[in-house]
Structure 1
Amino acid sequence: MARIKQKGKAGAAKNFITRNQAIKKLQVTLADFRRLCILKGIYPREPRNKKKANKGSTAPATFYYTKDIQYLLHEPVLLKFREHKTFARKLSKALGRGDLSTAKRLNEDKPQYTLDHIIKERYPTFVDALRDMDDALSMLFLFASMPQNDKISAATIANCERLCAEFQHYVIRSRSLRKTFLSIKGIYYQADIKGQDVTWLVPYKFSQQVPTDVDFRIMLTFLDFHQTFVGFVNYKLYSELGLVYPPEMDVQKDEGAAGLGAFVVEKIAKNITADEDAEMADVDVKDTSAQVASLGEKLATIRDDSVEEAPVEEVEDDAAVLDDFSTAAPNADGALAQPDATVSAPTNLFSNFTFYLSREVPRYSLEFLIKSFGGKVSWDPILGAGSPLEENDPRITHHVCDRPNQEKRFPGRSYLQPQWVYDCINKGRLVAIDEYAPGALLPPHLSPFVKVEEGDYDPEAVPVEAEAEEEEEEDVEEETGMQVADDDEEEEEEEVEEKAAAASTIPTAEDSDVDEEIDEHERQLAAEAAGVAYSKAAPSKRGKKTDAPKETKAEKEAREAQDMAKIMMSNKHKKLYAKMQYGIQKKEEQTNSLRQKRKAIEKEKRKGGGKKGGN
Structure 2
Amino acid sequence: MVSKRKKKYTTGEGAQFMTRKAALKKLQLSLNDFRRLCVLKGIYPREPRNRKRAQKGQSGIKTLYHVKDIQFLLHEPIIWRLRDYKIFNKKVGRARAVKDFESLKKYLNNHPTLKLDHIVKERYPTFLDALRDLDDCLTLCFLFSTFPSIPHVPRDQSALCQRLTIEFLHAVIEAKALRKVFISIKGYYYQAEIKGETITWIVPHHFAFEPQSKAEVDFKLMSTFVEFYTIMLGFVNFRLYHQLNLYYPPKFSNLTQTDSEKEIVDEGVFVSERVAALNFPLSRTTNSAIEEEVEIDNFNTEDNPEKIEEARIEAEKIKKLKTLFKGLKFFLNREVPREPLVFIIRCFGGEVSWDKLLFVGATFDENDESITHQIVDRPSMEKQYISRYYVQPQWIFDSVNARELVPVNKYFMGEILPPHLSPFINEGRHQEYMPPEEKALYDPTALEELHNKGESDDEEEEEKETEQVDTTNEQVEEEVEEEEEVEEEETSSAKKKLKVTPGEIHKEVPWEKSRQERQEYKLREKLVKNKHRKLYKSMMAGRKERAKEIWLLRKKRRLHDEKQKEEKKAKKKQQKLASVS
Q: Give the aligned partner of residue 218 of structure 1.
A: 221
CA contact (8 A) 2:294 2:315 kept: no
Letter matched to residue 46 of structure 2: R
Q: Give the aligned partner of residue 589 of structure 1.
A: 551
Q: TM-score, normalised to structure 2's length?
A: 0.77
- Unmatched runs of 5 consecutive residues or more in structure 1: 271-325, 500-524, 537-547
Change (3 A) 1:17 1:256: closer
**Separation in 1 of the partners of 2:295 and 2:233?**
35
Of 331, 343, 349, the residue aligned with 2:324 is 349
Q: Give the aligned partner of residue 27 of structure 1.
A: 28
**Pairs within 5 Å for 1:133-532:** 133-213=134-214, 214-248=217-251, 251-253=268-270, 259-261=276-278, 265-269=282-286, 341=315, 344=318, 346-452=321-427, 453-454=429-430, 456-460=433-437, 461=440, 462=446, 475=461, 477-481=463-467
Is residue 2:559 matched to residue 1:562? no
Change (3 A) 1:165 1:14: same
CA contact (8 A) 1:258 1:385 kept: no
Match of 1:190, SS? Answer: strand
Stretch moving more, 595-604 or 55-64: 595-604
Return the offset for 1:374: 0.7
Change (3 A) 1:598 1:97: closer
Larger of the two Rg values belongs to structure: 1
Match of 1:178, SS? Answer: strand
CA RMSD, 1 decimal: 4.4
1:310-368 deviations in whole A, cap 9, x for unaligned?
Answer: xxxxxxxxxxxxxxxx9x9999x9xxx96763965711111111111111111111111
Change (3 A) 1:553 1:116: farther
Q: Give the aligned partner of residue 13 of structure 1.
A: 14
Stretch moving more, 341-350 or 61-70: 341-350
Q: Give the aligned partner of residue 88 of structure 1.
A: 89
CA contact (8 A) 1:50 1:58 kept: no
**Separation in 2 of the partners of 1:329 and 1:57?**
58
CA contact (8 A) 2:187 2:205 kept: yes
Q: Give the aligned partner of residue 510 of structure 1.
A: none
Q: Give the aligned partner of residue 294 of structure 1.
A: none
**Separation in 1 of the partners of 2:153 and 2:237?**
23
Match of 2:321, SS? Answer: coil
Q: TM-score, normalised to structure 1's length?
A: 0.73
**Pairs within 5 Å for 1:2-151:** 2-151=3-152
**Separation in 2 of the partners of 1:74 and 1:112?**
19
Match of 1:447, SS? Answer: coil
Letter matched to residue 562 of structure 1: Y
1:13-32 deviations in whole A, cap 9, x for unaligned?
Answer: 21111111111100111110
Return the offset for 1:459: 2.9
Match of 2:102, SS? Answer: helix
Query: How many percent identity over aligned positions?
Result: 40
Match of 1:481, SS? Answer: helix
CA contact (8 A) 1:176 1:372 kept: yes
Match of 1:247, SS? Answer: coil
Change (3 A) 1:560 1:233: same
1:578-604 deviations in whole A, cap 9, x for unaligned?
Answer: 536634642553465366457646755
**Pairs within 5 Å for 1:548-559:** none
Stretch moving more, 14-23 or 242-251: 242-251
Letter matched to residue 62 of structure 1: T
Return the offset for 1:440: 1.6
Return the offset for 1:67: 0.5
Q: Give the aligned partner of residue 301 of structure 2.
A: none
CA contact (8 A) 1:397 1:414 kept: yes
Return the offset for 1:108: 2.1
Return the offset for 1:450: 2.1
